[in-house]
Amino acid sequence: METFKRLRNIIYEESGIFIPDAKKYLVEKKVASRLEARGLAGFDDYLQAIESGGNAEEMGRLFDAITTNETSFFREPEHFAVLVEHVVPDLLGRNGVKGLSLWSSACSTGEEPYTMAIVLREKNPALRPNIYASDISNQTLESAKRAVYNSYSLRNTQEYYMSKYFKNGGDLYELNQEIKNAVRFMNINLADDRKQKFLPGMMDVIFCRNVLIYFDTQSKRKAVSRLYDSLKPGGYLFIGKSESLHDITRAFKPVIFNNTLVYKRTT
């Protein structure tokens, strides 16, 4: 089989990410950085190294190289408004809720879960939610834990939050320790079939934004079904504004708050 197709298959099997023919050149360019790092002469050698298995570290580096990590604080801000104004009051209004658990399931460099922590802290400092954040890319997770950002990451952030939650030095902005401590990071692959790696039935809210677009229908279905299992009954799933669960699942009840669509697990 042609080298690109073998590489594409491995990436798909391991991460659910489907690379169309049109992106062949882009992906080869990204993977070339791994060849260079490993001192390998060609893609065939690299594929052999990966296909021989037992190479979890290189697989991780391959994910780092090929994933798109675009994000920012307060990206798609209406989701955060709906979270604090509608979803959290609904969840807290239900009987027997002790603490809230939220999960940013493709958190990239941390801007999304930290924005959750900031808006929830602003809404009610006594709330102290459990916020989990995960990604397939170790490189982004390391960067998330450092929590030092440039102004591009903060391009959608109001001055009020910048001065309250960040320490500015030169071109960089360091997130304050309290918000950093509010988020627990881990590596979770949304395409991983081993269920125990997910967080079954524990979550009140899951954000899974701007990652399903890289999956084909089959991997979307699998991932969304496992996200469903990770939610408590009554819990909510947020996906990216340009994404849809049409054709993927009917298990959720679509709910609209302020013209913004979110998905609720009812039972």
Ligand X SMILES: C[S@@+](CC[C@H](N)C(=O)[O-])C[C@H]1O[C@@H](n2cnc3c(N)ncnc32)[C@H](O)[C@@H]1O
Task: Kindly tell me which residue out of 61, 79, 209, 265 binds ligand X, with binding defined by CB under 6 A.
Answer: 209
Q: How many residues bind ligand X (CB under 6 A)?
A: 24
34-41 contacts at long range (C-beta below 8 A, 24 or more positions apart)? 34/58, 34/61, 34/62, 34/65, 37/61
Of 143 and 176, CB closest to ligand X: 143
Of 40 and 197, CB closest to ligand X: 197
Contact 31/46 with Cβ under 8 angstroms? yes
Task: Kindly tell me which residue out of 59, 147, 211, 231 binds ligand X, with binding defined by CB under 6 A.
Answer: 211
Q: In this structure, how many other beta carbons lie within 10 angstroms of the beta carbon of residue 18? A: 16
- Report the nearest approach of ligand X to the CB of residue 69 (Å): 4
Task: Kindly tell me which residue out of 30, 58, 69, 123 binds ligand X, with binding defined by CB under 6 A.
Answer: 69
Q: What is the footprint of ligand X within residues 177-196 (CB under 6 A)?
A: 189-191
Provide the b/e sequence for 127-150 (b: ≥16 CB within 10 Å): eebebbbbbbbebbbebbeebebe
Between the alpha carbon of residue 45 and those of residues 38, 57, 62, 177, the distances in Å are 10, 16, 14, 44
Provide the b/e sequence for 37-71 (b: ≥16 CB within 10 Å): eeeeeebeebbeebeeeeeeeebbbbbbbbbeeeb
- Report the nearest approach of ligand X to the CB of residue 103 (Å): 11
Does position 204 bind ligand X by CB under 6 A?
no
The phi, psi pair for 234, rounded to 5°, reads: 95, -5
Of 40 and 222, CB closest to ligand X: 222
Task: Kindly tell me which residue out of 61, 75, 121, 220 binds ligand X, with binding defined by CB under 6 A.
Answer: 75
Q: What is the footprint of ligand X within residues 97-156 (CB under 6 A)?
A: 106, 108, 112, 135-137, 140
Of 40 and 249, CB closest to ligand X: 249
- Report the nearest approach of ligand X to the CB of residue 135 (Å): 5
Of 44 and 216, CB closest to ligand X: 216
Residues in CB range of 40: below 8 A, 6 or more apart: 46, 49
Task: Kindly tell me which residue out of 57, 70, 171, 193 binds ligand X, with binding defined by CB under 6 A.
Answer: 70
| Residues at the site binding ligand X, with contacts judged by CB under 6 A | 15-17, 67-71, 75, 106, 108, 112, 135-137, 140, 189-191, 209-211, 214, 240
